[in-house]
Structures are given as C-alpha cells and as structure tokens.
Structure 1
C-alpha cells in the first residue's frame, strides 16, 4: 500500500495527537497529512505535513472549499470536524473525486445528534439509555415555568443551548450564590435563577435553551469505534475523576449501553457517548459523532482508536481489539517549538 493522504479541516488542538497516532501505527502504513484552519498558527496544524488557511465561508461554499482542497491535493481520506452536517449533506461531491469521508451519512441522525433536544426526542421509548428530565424554552416565561416544574419534581436545575459544543453556554442554577463574593472568586458556571431570568427577559424570544435536571454524579465518556456499517469494534468508558484524573473502567453497565446504542443507531467510525450518573442511574448528556477531545487518554488502553477508525473507513477487515482497563491517567502541558 502506498502513501495515504489524509486531510483534517478545522479541528481542536488534540488533532496533533490523533495525527501522530495514525502516523505511528503498528502496521507501518504510510500517511501524509494535510490540515487547514482559519489560524495558520493553530496547534492542530503542528503535526501536519502540509497546512493551509481556511476562508470565512459557510454552507455549500465551505463544502466546495473542502472539495477543491481534496481534489487539488489528491486526498484519500477526509476527517472533518467543523461543519460535519453540511459535509455529510453533500458527501456525494467527495465520492465523485474518490475521497473517503469519515462522517455519518445518515443526515437525519447526524442533524439530531448536533441538536440535543431533537436527539433526546429521537431516543425516547427506544430503551437504549435514560434521558434526563428536560424542557425546551424560547422565552423568559417558558424558562420560569420549566424551572418551577423541574424543582417541584425534586431536581437541581441547569440549562444550555440545544446547539452547542463542549460546555459552551452551560450554566447551573444555584440560588445560594453571593454576587459580591463571586467577584473575588474563580469564574463560575453557576448563576441564580433571578440573574438568568432577568438576562433572558431582555429578549422577546431567544434561540432554544434546554432547561434540565442537573446530573451531579460520576461522569463518563465512552469512546467508541465502529465499522462503516455501524458494527461496534470497541467501546472504552473513561471515568472523569478529580481535576485532570481519569480512570479507564471496565463497566459492564456502560459497555452494554454502548452496544445497544451502536446496534440501534449504526453510527460509523469514531464516536463518543457522554453520560452522567444521578441517583445511581447513568443518564445521557450527548453523543458526539467524531473523535472526542479526550480520546488520546483513552488510547492509553493500548487501542490506537484514531488508526482503528481510519482502517474502518478504508474498508479493511480488523479484529476487535482487547483494551486494557483499570488504567488511571491524566495529562500535562508539553511545550512544542513551532516552525512555520
């Protein structure tokens, strides 16, 4: 097999790790990496062999930029992060030039995973995973009613936009906060109901917000890799502990959940299931149809998950790997010299 050309568009800085994991694969398969980002000095580009600047365009214009980039550079594999849903919608344009794209082709499922309330609705009644109690609101009065209903049901309450990535827009309602004391403390994700209500009241309507029960138990990320057809190859639960500490844990309950979700939804390649416990029950936070930000920690299990996903995309037959569990891990910053 000759040199395989891989393109990663605007990614998180952890793409640095994933590129090196794919490059340093156990089979000696040769790869050449191409990366683009609006910021030519972004850390995600540091491990790429060839880099370029992305234009500030959206929708089909952005997809056409990616198609042109793949065509000009004879890209074999495209691993997108930004605008996955648009790329999936027009994936036939990549098929026409012979570029394999690591994306879920079920556009309805992909759209639902990106819009959290749609996804919760889609999963209701399927007996795959417990969904937290939630309401979707667009006005301050709806927000107030949702808060009152959830607290009456005995829940602590939080809220976040229905479309967001990571922790963006996430807030916990804590009515015991002291605004003056907060000014002298660390930046916090907490706000009082009155502060949130007053802010939301400034707009007649706002983009959809999910008001939901706060899950305050142990949090897990379950990193998964499936074949192109959605057959689960591996699932590894990563328990978030204090600070930057994680435990790769062989949890039968969570492994069974991952198997059920994979069998029902058939998400291809790399994806990540995030759950958090409340009163002993693991409840779904979200599913991300891509490699997670913490996947490089999960790979300390001995499973090279980015490379496994690439093999799945290439259509190669691979044996399900045997991960090593019981590993406690963390991470520290590492200085890197940037030579552009």
Structure 2
C-alpha cells in the first residue's frame, strides 16, 4: 500500500484525497496530511493527520524530509513551499520519496511570479498576453493606469505572486458606496481609493496593473507525464453563480498542447485564460492541482489519481474525458470532533 502525504494545502485537498482513495481500480492508499490547524478541512479526509510547524527556508525542507522518513512516504504532494522543496528534490528521492513537483526550479519560479512568466511566453505563438505594467509605487500605479485607459482599456490589478484571487481588484470610474454597503462584497475600487492606499507607503510589493478581460474565463486542468508529455487537458468555463461548464474548446486544447511542448510541466497543472473580444489571453499557470479540479473530475477523468500514477511511473489507460457537462457544488457538513458518548452513537449508526 502506497503512502501519500499532502502538506499544508487548501481545503479542497479533502476532495483530492477522496478522489485518490476512491479510484476506479480499488487501489489502496494510506493518506497523510499536515496543517498548522489540526482541525483544518483538508485534514478531514486523511488516515493520519499531524500539526505542521510554521517554518521558513531549509528548516521547512528539513521538516518535510523528516516527515517522509518517519512515515515512509512514497509520494509527497506539496503545495506550501514548492520552490524550496523542488530545490532539494534529490534529497527526497534519496530516501525513496517521489515528489509531485516541477523539478525545473527556474521554470517553477517564473510560474510563481506572473510577470516573469508573461515575459517568457511573449512572442512564442502559444497564447496572447494581456497589456500590463509592473509597479511598486503610487506614481507608477498612476502612470500605468493612465496609459492603459488612454488605450481604451478597462483596468484591474493584482500582486505578481498571489495565489487564486488574493489581492485582485477591478478599477472603476465611480462607486455608490452606500449601495454597496447593502449589497454583496465585491472587488471594485476607484482609482482614487487605490491611489490613496498605495500612497500610504513609499514602495509596496509589486503589482501588475492590467487590461481587464471582459468575456468568458476558463481554467484548463492539464495532466502530463513525469517528463511533461501532454496526456490530457479539460477546459472548465466559469458561468454565473456556482455553475461550470466542462467544454470541448479546440483552440484551448491546442493551446494546452503548445504549452506542454514548450515548457514540459510535469504531472498536473492548471492554465487560466480569459477571453477579450473573442481572443483568449493568459491569466496565469498554477503548477499544482487547481481549486476547482474536483469539478473537472466529473468528466470521468480522476486527475489526482492519474497524477499519482505518473509520479510512480505506472502505465495508464487511454484518457477520454466526457465533456459538455454543466456542474455545480454544494456544502457538505462534516463532524470534526465529538465527545466520547456522541462518537459511540455515531459509530453505532453507521
């Protein structure tokens, strides 16, 4: 039985673990998870959970190596500190642990710094890049905003190295602030509000001031071999509310193949693009399992399990996703802890 460890992940790792456990071949795995919060959602699908220390640099790598040694981990699936772990991946291999991470640390670093990756993609004929400027001063923000507006573009901004939607804002001409107090929380901010905030410091962490892309957004979940050979890609279109469409989009599938040929990203990764006036433009590439991957797996392709097979160098059957699926998700209550008496009642009711 292979042992798999997820270090500090997002809550959706709960789904990844269950997808691996409930694989179509009935293959048995023992699942380990760590997180600073022992009651974190990601740990609720584990067979074994431990509290993870908060460490930096090589001290964190040493913790990971020790964890893999103590528990005889076969496959380590990191999310936190991927770059540091990739730097020392040979040390994990030496103790018999395969790591689901891109070993090309220069590529991995560029993927994590969005502006670096944009420049590496530019001019290669893979995908269009949005108009953008990188700034770290209020004056730079003002110049970038005015430049993009002069080109007739709507404007947004986000940190160069944030995950998911952290720090993303859409710059609008004006706001009805009272009406917004009675409505849903949104990501809109006026230029004046943003400029005032940025002016509070002489410099700040770099942000990308970008062309706002107005049309459909797609996440393309990709599966590759250990050598980065393209195995599958499944486009997932974000619809209104909680709806997603798993869609056959030939130009996006072709684009994912071009990315694979150029960058050879291994195992599993996610390409995000958004259309503007009929043209798909790159948002980012996440060199890991995406937050919505469990929805993509409704296509009948169990990507987390197949990625484990790729790490272990095991053969795979032909991959044929079912597309044309509209999907959504709902919350599911889960008991994290219970008193002794309550636990006995729960066990007797199963």
Give the TM-score, by structure 2 length.
0.95
Note the C-alpha offset of 1:24.
1.4
C-alpha distance in 1, partners of 2:9/2:200? Answer: 34
Note the C-alpha offset of 1:328.
0.6
State the match for 2:217 in structure 1: 219
State the match for 2:268 in structure 1: 270
Per-residue CA deviations over 1:70-105 (Å, capped at 9, x if unaligned) read 000000000011111111111111011110000000
Per-residue CA deviations over 1:313-334 (Å, capped at 9, x if unaligned) read 0101213400001011000001
The structure 1 residue matched to 2:193, chosen from 189, 192, 195, is 195
State the match for 2:334 in structure 1: 336
Note the C-alpha offset of 1:27.
2.1
State the match for 1:136 in structure 2: 134
The alignment partner of 1:111 has SS state of helix
C-alpha distance in 2, partners of 1:178/1:147? Answer: 21
C-alpha distance in 1, partners of 2:318/2:258? Answer: 17
Q: Does the Cα contact within 8 Å between 1:301 and 1:323 map onto a contact in 2?
A: yes
State the match for 1:71 in structure 2: 69
State the match for 2:294 in structure 1: 296
Does 1:321 find its partner at 2:334? no
C-alpha distance in 1, partners of 2:56/2:153? Answer: 39
The alignment partner of 1:46 has SS state of helix
Note the C-alpha offset of 1:176.
2.1
State the match for 1:9 in structure 2: 7
The structure 2 residue matched to 1:186, chosen from 175, 184, 187, is 184
User: Bigger shift: 76-85 or 170-179?
Assistant: 170-179
The structure 2 residue matched to 1:20, chosen from 13, 18, 21, is 18
Note the C-alpha offset of 1:211.
0.1
State the match for 2:309 in structure 1: 311
State the match for 1:81 in structure 2: 79
The alignment partner of 1:259 has SS state of helix
The alignment partner of 2:45 has SS state of coil
Give 4+ residue runs of structure 1 displaced > 6 Å after superposition: none
The structure 1 residue matched to 2:90, chosen from 65, 89, 92, is 92
Give the TM-score, by structure 1 length.
0.98
State the match for 1:55 in structure 2: 53
State the match for 1:286 in structure 2: 284
Per-residue CA deviations over 1:142-181 (Å, capped at 9, x if unaligned) read 1101001101111000001101011000000001212333
- How many residues were matched structurally? 338
C-alpha distance in 1, partners of 2:176/2:26? Answer: 58
Q: Does the Cα contact within 8 Å between 1:234 and 1:320 map onto a contact in 2?
A: no
Per-residue CA deviations over 1:290-340 (Å, capped at 9, x if unaligned) read 111101110110111111100100101213400001011000001112248
User: Bigger shift: 152-161 or 314-323?
Assistant: 314-323
Does 1:239 find its partner at 2:242? no
Note the C-alpha offset of 1:124.
1.1
C-alpha distance in 2, partners of 1:176/1:339? Answer: 47
Note the C-alpha offset of 1:138.
1.0
In the alignment, structure 1 segments of 5+ residues that lack a partner are: none
